[in-house]
Amino acid sequence: MQSESDRLRREGKRIAVVPTMGALHRGHTSLIQLARKHADVVVTTIFVNPTQFGPTEDLARYPRDLDRDSTLAQAAGTNILFTPSASEMYPEGFKTFVSVEEITSVLEGEIRPTHFRGVTTVVAKLFNVVKPHVGVFGQKDIQQVHVIRRMTQDLDFGIELVVGPTVREVDGLALSSRNAYLTPEERSRATALYRSLRGVADLVQAGERSVGTLRDRAEGILHASHPTRVDYVAFLDSGTFRPRESIAAPGILVALAVRYGTTRLIDNEFITI
């Protein structure tokens, strides 16, 4: 992969990378299509990264179907599919990790303490292997986007980050590989994530500016869907990712994490004034 990237760069080609863990869906293919608009060559990576899973998480059962993923990736415009093994990415004796501070200790980082260290390490490795000019990521994993942007800037990767919008089902549920874990009844209840975001947006458009009132609306909609647990409902500055107690122009980022049964779902939306 490194040799091929070197060759492409010598030819003046612009390379984009779309990192994934496979189990591709329309959200992933929309990122591949977006990457085509920013580069001559699109590299899609498929690697179920063990270092970003906690000891009680779903590494063993995470869906894997390389033949299906390969077909979808190529149909969406992928030129190169890079599918390294865990032993190639983390050979015997591997001891180096990349850590971003502060932003990785809240929300997802508080609940999954080792998660972002695994994300930043694998993305740094993929950047060094693929040598892209552009990295393409999805809005649905908004904290991940902020963490990777911080790492990219701090370590002088010189890579442009492009963020694609969240892709949703007709009823608003954000597409996720983990949606496959939901029972039909849980799947129906999980629409509460998007309904709660829309409920907050409706209040903001009606003039509400109190985060406390907005949180009450979001949590009320979520709890009415009888989740196993609401991990967080966060109101954040979209630039700094810091908590906000009131809303000012241009708006506010609302991020959610909710569990139905054994399945944990996240979603977010930037709500403008």
Same domain, 159 and 187: no
**Residue ending a domain, choose from 164, 190, 208:** 164
Nearest to 260 by CA among 228, 224, 233: 228
Same domain assignment for residues 185 and 153: no
For 254, the domain range is: 177-272
Quote the CA–CA distance of 195 and 176 in Å, as a whole number.
Answer: 17
Q: Do 117 and 182 belong to one domain?
A: no
User: pLDDT value at position 229?
Assistant: 97
Domain boundary among 143, 164, 185: 164
Does residue 243 lie within any of the structural domains?
yes
Asked whether residue 170 is domain-assigned, the answer is no
Q: What is the CATH number of the domain that holds 204?
A: 3.30.1300.10
Q: Could you report how far apart the first and last alpha carbons of the chain are, in Å?
A: 45
Q: What CATH number is attached to the domain comprising 38?
A: 3.40.50.620
Q: Number of structural domains, the chain?
A: 2
Q: Residue 173: which of 252, 62, 267 has the closest Cα?
A: 267
In this structure, is residue 139 part of a structural domain? yes
Residues 59 and 154 in one domain: yes
DSSP secondary structure string for all residues of 45-94: EE---GGGS-TTSSTTTS---HHHHHHHHHHHT-SEEE---HHHHS-TT-
Same domain (yes/no): 230, 155: no
d(CA 233, CA 241): 13
pLDDT at 23: 96
Q: Which residues are catalytic?
A: 28
- In terms of domains, do 195 and 224 share one? yes
Question: To 5 degrees, how large is the angle CA 168–CA 259–CA 119?
Answer: 75
Q: Are residues 192 and 255 in the same domain?
A: yes
Using alpha carbons, list the distances in angstroms from residue 179 to 54, 76, 169, 188, 254.
19, 21, 11, 11, 21
Q: Where among 164, 185, 207 does a domain terminate?
A: 164
Residues 160 and 194 both lie in one domain: no
Helix, strand, or coil (residue 31): helix
Q: Which residues of the chain have pLDDT under 50?
A: none
Predicted TM-score (pTM) of this structure: 0.95
* 29 and 137 assigned to the same domain: yes
pLDDT number for residue 268: 98
**Residue at 186 is within a domain:** yes
pLDDT of residue 7: 98
* Tokens 């902020």, located at residue: 146
Same-domain pairing of 43 and 153: yes
User: 32 and 124: one domain?
Assistant: yes
